Structure 1
């Protein structure tokens, strides 16, 4: 009945001549993010990132095309909707999954549409061309102007431009349509931490479509297409992309004062010396202005503005003989924060330029002098603020999925890597390139080395970190290439040692967390270790960073990267909540310890003292022949035929021998030796000799089930034998701790079998020496399933000659 009444009412109104009800045109409305930043409400249709987006190549005439565009889902094979209004409204350049876009959902394929008008004063077609610039579109895109396809592009992290002059029609409105497809982790494309659906873990909501500024500008027919600026301590090399046969003039200024100039052919490197050079550094990030003119037939046809800083990045040995990172020729510890560049309101796109700057300002305020931009590439203005504020940047290449890249995607990955380097070579702040993270996407160790070499050849002026977290996760192992050895360790820090040719860094550590009600993306989350309050979190951070200083002084790491500046979705390990509304630590204490590290981690403060001579002879400070007697050991197991006389068989589940005290001083050098015969050699760990620590054994002379080899180990560090041992065969094992060289050594049957860096000092002993088990996380573990015999302990590092003698004496 109600339906009939409604129809009759409408019919009556029409017959009476009433006006037809108008349907409201679609309008843009911001979505509601689960949590909002201080800048969320400052974003609207008329101020979507209005700043000039390309600070290193500026022009006076330009027009921002950010703002409200028409939007629609695109179907496979759908015709271009030329001349058709689309049914939704999106705010460009915020990715469509974000609240600020107004769409706030995922689509695999999409259409964007808007009209634009070319200002008549630009004189396009009268000597000038019209160029459209796209900061980034994720991932595949096609551009149409007035129904004509003018460009295609593949890649979600690099910018592109297109000359659309020939597609324009007369004056007045011109139609611009963008098609985009983003299948994210359903393909092998570079995606960083993006996923189609957040896993509430270490991967996050993806960002599709247009996510950086779109703008247009008039350019002369002969114009400057790009600048490459390579600084030294006294000059900058300028290379200008422009038509052959044109001439470049570059003028450097310090304020209103000209400090250098150079003129030469376009497309060739031009050295521009600087009078009385002022260097750029994190403490004094001085930047020069640069004016570049293009001349054709003696006439200036194009002008752009730019800037640069004078600095170098390199390495040299410190007073302790360890290779360390230098900035401007001086050793400088790179104290870094991990920055993933996600926002709860804009996802991949910061809501405003002030927000983009804010994160970097906090890094400086907390005493960091560097940032690792983690598997994401930011808009140009992020690097501009890093240049202005004085932060060293380690730039990651966005990874594909965590498994090996499919063969058909490998060339694309390399092409995008080299394009990232090309587009970002002129930023003063960037000091290192990082092609791979934790083996994600890595398909072959030799290929990783080749790729690192290719990046170094492309840009010799910076460090190349072939593989951040080479010790971790999906890594194929160390290629030996690049300028950096990089380990990850949570909670850490990691403590690799430099080689003669490569510096060492802690590539990720930390990760302490704190929940803050009403400021969590999912209302909950986790970290590597949670804390109950701000004071505890701060204390954990300070203690952890003190360990960073110890690692720098004893092991020679040149940089350390704490994880991370803000919470991200379910990760709650930030200095700030994901919405940037709450500070989670006492930043005064954070700044103090960070500055102490930078001040004291230069290799001049601490040297390892020589250890005491120790007890001479091959019997050692303890010797248990295990020939029908346990000696001072707590009885367990069964006497059986041993290697020499008798030995003790242990059952692999509960039996072990306990010395009743700590025999070895683990704060100094020591060695442990034993004969062992395994009854099994599978994926389970088995301990031959160890000494209990507070929660974990101070050391393990062991069979490593993970590697199926013998090892001399600390927790997370193993000097490994060369091959899997045979069940039922006797082996002579010697594990050596050498504090001066900072390493563990394993000898098997009198010969050196493996070494591992172990440079951090150990504490004084706290637990008993034991035979036949270990200790981990406070629990007894890794019981020996086999027979042990002839156990020796030494309060010094045995020499290779002594170890061979010991082995021979028992034969």
Structure 2
């Protein structure tokens, strides 16, 4: 039984989990072709129009829009329905209403959109709409920047954050939070009494450019995390880029993988907390994670937990990927 590919896949997955839950990162340094590579999660975007520019604000390139649905990524690029952070550099030269990012259906009660509203037509240049295109709570209720938060036609760094623990959305500009009354930060969105069912529609495709409307500006260095970054981490992303944010010390991750070629058994070890329950999930394609090796695993004494499994129980797939999930009691 040859599991060389499985071991390589596991190494790559563990590395991505360790990068502060950075789940996707499109540097836009491709410079040619019809694919925008996601160097973290592998959720490459398919281009339909647009122009590669070099250099970008960060790195070798950036992407200028032509006013269409230009970068389409699979729905699996964002799987979380709880916390989310989006970060990117852009030049906003949009002359009419536009959509930078879109991950919702028209009538859905979950999802998000990043909207631009040009100066002179609205009192907010950029909005973080949560809850689907039409079912988000009513016009003017989005998390939104105050007028004049950034200059059109110039590079600006934007970070949008949703924290499910506090049911709060926020938009940062160049590493700082421009307050806008009750609209930035914005609370009362998806929690008790809120108007939607979550920040993400897991079945809707992800448009990095376009969707319900179009965007003709320039984008660079788009990144996404499945947790709410802190203000300090957001400042780090602004000054040093997405890869500079370190993983929190106790973030759940696989820390070691040991394979016995004699017994065909392997042992997974992950960091854990005493008294908590865990499930060991596996996938053959990094998309479907429904299968589990074991669940209801009570954490071992100490800071880590280990469990041993047999490869022969997994039907000899070409590649295997593993992850650990915390379970509620």
Shift of 1:704: 3.2
SS for the counterpart of 2:238 is helix
Shift of 1:805: 0.2
CA distance in 2, matches of 1:771, 1:732: 15
1:233-263 per-residue CA deviation (whole Å, 9 max, x = no partner) reads: xxxxxxxxxxxxxxxxxxxxxxxxxxxxxxx
1:621 has 2:23 as partner:
yes
**RMSD, aligned CA:** 2.5
1:477-528 per-residue CA deviation (whole Å, 9 max, x = no partner) reads: xxxxxxxxxxxxxxxxxxxxxxxxxxxxxxxxxxxxxxxxxxxxxxxxxxxx
1:744 has 2:169 as partner:
yes
Counterpart selection for 1:698 from 94, 106, 111: 111
Aligned to 2:85: 671
Shift of 1:797: 0.7
Highest RCO, 1 vs 2 (Cα 8 Å, sep ≥ 6): 2
Shift of 1:668: 1.1
SS for the counterpart of 1:801 is helix
Contact 2:124 2:146 (C-alpha < 8 Å) held by counterparts: no
SS for the counterpart of 2:86 is strand
1:4-42 per-residue CA deviation (whole Å, 9 max, x = no partner) reads: xxxxxxxxxxxxxxxxxxxxxxxxxxxxxxxxxxxxxxx
Change (3 A) 1:710 1:804: same
Aligned to 1:755: 185
Change (3 A) 1:662 1:694: farther
Equivalent positions of 1:203-602 (< 5 A) are none
Aligned to 2:209: 772
CA distance in 1, matches of 2:201, 2:116: 25
Contact 2:104 2:113 (C-alpha < 8 Å) held by counterparts: no
CA distance in 1, matches of 2:20, 2:62: 19
Aligned to 1:807: 238
Contact 1:687 1:771 (C-alpha < 8 Å) held by counterparts: no
Shift of 1:619: 7.5
CA distance in 2, matches of 1:801, 1:701: 23
Shift of 1:739: 1.0
1:779-798 per-residue CA deviation (whole Å, 9 max, x = no partner) reads: xx221111100000111111
Shift of 1:734: 0.8
Contact 2:88 2:219 (C-alpha < 8 Å) held by counterparts: yes
Contact 2:123 2:147 (C-alpha < 8 Å) held by counterparts: no
TM-score by length of 2: 0.52
Aligned to 1:722: 146
CA distance in 2, matches of 1:618, 1:702: 27
SS for the counterpart of 1:662 is helix
Change (3 A) 1:727 1:619: farther
Change (3 A) 1:783 1:713: same
Aligned to 1:100: none
Change (3 A) 1:673 1:643: same
CA distance in 2, matches of 1:740, 1:769: 24
Shift of 1:656: 1.8
CA distance in 2, matches of 1:686, 1:756: 21
Bigger share in helix: 1
Change (3 A) 1:656 1:695: farther
Unpaired stretches in structure 1, ≥5 consecutive residues? 1-613, 775-780
SS for the counterpart of 1:806 is helix
Change (3 A) 1:625 1:803: same
Aligned to 2:6: none
Aligned to 2:123: 707
Contact 1:691 1:770 (C-alpha < 8 Å) held by counterparts: yes
Unpaired stretches in structure 2, ≥5 consecutive residues? 1-15, 38-43, 131-135, 179-183, 243-329
Larger radius of gyration: 1
Aligned to 1:650: 65
Contact 2:98 2:117 (C-alpha < 8 Å) held by counterparts: yes
Aligned to 2:219: 788
CA distance in 2, matches of 1:764, 1:785: 25
Contact 2:21 2:227 (C-alpha < 8 Å) held by counterparts: no
Aligned to 1:685: 97
Counterpart selection for 1:797 from 225, 228, 247: 228
SS for the counterpart of 2:47 is coil
Contact 2:86 2:222 (C-alpha < 8 Å) held by counterparts: yes
CA distance in 2, matches of 1:615, 1:690: 25
Contact 1:676 1:788 (C-alpha < 8 Å) held by counterparts: yes
Aligned to 1:285: none
Shift of 1:728: 1.5
Question: What number of residue pairs does the alignment pair up?
Answer: 189
Q: Moved runs in structure 1, 4+ residues, more than 4 A?
A: none
Change (3 A) 1:782 1:720: same
TM-score by length of 1: 0.22
